[in-house]
DNA sequence: CTAAAATAGACAACGTGATTGACGAAAAGG
DNA sequence: CCTTTTCGTCAATCACGTTGTCTATTTTAG
């Protein structure tokens, strides 16, 4: 505890603030990204859809696989895919080699969201790096990576993001 | 999502990792806290309840007030209070000075959860400080505070935490 | 003082997103 | 082959939130 006196002697923030801050950070990034996306012609992308699209991936995937990647039931994944299909972000085609499977694939519009999301997130991260310093952002990421159990990287919670 | 772009982000993690890490950090803290609480006789506390109890506060509050603090409708707050009452964490008493109001107050059990939660969060934060260094944790908190709009500190999203 | 406005709480209907359970069709394996 | 898995879907249910409506009560204005 190399604590300097003169202001720094104050007690650290209460422990309960940390999760709050982490969540608020997450939340504000997501919110800003979707504000950007809305301006770029993707007003109907809900935050959860973005991650679902990511789970589809460039090579496509089945609903069951998407559910596994997202950590939700295949039924839930199926419903999400249905919505995504209705919005024109994915298409479903029968797998000619396996009569059970229906491959979900990104449409051009779906790829566009993904590309714009990636750009948006990069832009947001760059803004943080500009405000805080690139090293601080990198440190934050490193520290979080260190403290977060590997399996917690999953996006398995259901409906956190609701704008 | 992660396009290799020569320009902006060098070998830094792709921008989309930051929100993921923030969420995973939040999530793992919440999960661990509730694991601890479960071991301490509070297995039925859902994450959302903890924050609702905090909104009640030591002095008690009305359902409407709780709703305001949590950023949800008074009806939603009322339902939560009902559950909390059923679990024995709060009690509702008529306000003798205002026939419309019913004051929600923490029971001893409710106070106990709050105390144990605060202790648990402090313990968790201490563990992070031990692993990362106190200064790094403090830096993370400071940086997040700097980037997060003041109004984003609210816990107003509905169902993110589901264990 | 009384009429109007605001507030508290409750009830109902509904929306969203998840879950479990069941089932038929297709594939895989002993 | 016949049994076990797996895929997709239907249906019922749950959790948690929303808006709208209604009554009782308090506050505020005229």
Architecture of B44-118 per CATH? Orthogonal Bundle (1.10)
Nearest to B155 by CA among B76, B43, B59, B38: B76
Q: What is the mean pLDDT of residues A41-67?
A: 92
pLDDT digits (tens, 9 = 90+) for B36-95: 999 999 998 988 898 899 999 999 999 999 999 999 999 999 999 999 999 999 999 999
Confidence bin at B34 (pLDDT 50/70/90): very high
Q: Which of A11-20, B37-46, B129-138 has the lowest mean pLDDT?
A: A11-20
Separation CA B11–CA A134 (nearest Å): 12
Q: In chain B, which residues have their Cβ closer than 8 Å to the Cβ of A2?
A: 135
pLDDT tops 60 at residue A91: yes
Q: For residue B6, is pLDDT > 70? A: no
- CB proximity list for A128: less than 8 A, separation 6 or greater: A137, B18, B143, B147
Out of A43-52, A137-146, B109-118, pick the least confident.
A43-52
The CA distance from B129 to A152, in Å, is: 20
| Res. B112: pLDDT tops 70 | yes
Q: Is B130 on the interface with A (CB under 8 A)?
A: no
**Could you give the CA distance from residue B142 to residue B28 in angstroms, rounded to a whole number?**
20
When pLDDT is cut at 50, 70 and 90, the band that residue B158 belongs to is very low
Domain extents in chain B? 44-118
Which pLDDT band, with edges at 50, 70 and 90, does B120 fall under?
very high
Q: Which residues of B, range 47-76, sit inside 8 Å of A by Cβ?
A: 54
Q: Which residue from A129, A64, A141, A19 is spatially nearest to B123, judged by alpha carbons?
A: A19
With bands split at pLDDT 50, 70 and 90, how would you rate the model's confidence at A123? Answer: very high
* Residue B33 in this model has a pLDDT that exceeds 80: yes
* Selection from B102, B114, B101, B108 nearest residue B49 by Cα: B114
For chain B residues 109-148, those near strand C by a CB cutoff of 7 A are none
CA-angle at B116, arms to B111 and B119, nearest 5°:
130
What is the C-alpha to C-alpha distance for residues B16 and A51, in angstroms, rounded to an integer? 10
Is B43 in CB contact (< 8 Å) with chain A? no
Cβ separation B12–A125 shorter than 8 A: yes
Residue listed under structure tokens 């260190």: A146
Q: Does A38 touch chain B (CB under 8 A)?
A: no
Mean pLDDT of A16-43: 91
Whole-number pLDDT of residue B48:
87
Buried b (16+ CB within 10 A) or exposed e, A101-138: bebbbbeeebebbbebbbbbbbebbbebbeebeeebbe
Domain A43-150 top-level CATH class: mainly alpha
Straight-line distance from CA A2 to C1' C17, in Å? Answer: 48
- From chain B, the residues in CB contact with A129 under 8 A are 12
Cβ contact (<8 Å) for B118 and A12? no
Query: What average pLDDT does the structure give for chain B?
Result: 87
Q: Indicate whether B114 pLDDT > 80.
A: yes
Mean pLDDT for A21-28 is 91
């Amino acid at each position: 505890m190399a604590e300097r006196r003169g202001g720094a002697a104050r007690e650290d923030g209460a422990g309960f603030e940390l999760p709050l801050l982490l969540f608020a950070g997450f939340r504000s990034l997501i919110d800003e990204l979707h504000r950007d996306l809305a301006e770029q012609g993707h007003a109907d992308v809900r935050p959860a859809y973005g991650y679902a699209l990511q789970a589809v991936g460039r090579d496509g995937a089945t609903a069951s696989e998407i559910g596994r990647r997202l950590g939700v039931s295949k039924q839930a994944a199926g419903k999400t895919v249905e919505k995504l299909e209705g919005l024109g972000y994915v298409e479903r085609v029968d797998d000619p080699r396996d009569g059970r499977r229906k491959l979900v694939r990104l449409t051009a519009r779906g790829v566009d969201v993904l590309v714009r999301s990636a750009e948006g997130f990069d832009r947001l991260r760059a803004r943080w790096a500009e405000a805080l310093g690139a090293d601080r952002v990198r440190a934050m990421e490193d520290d979080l990576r260190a403290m977060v159990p590997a399996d917690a990287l999953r996006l398995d919670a259901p409906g956190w993001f609701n704008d």
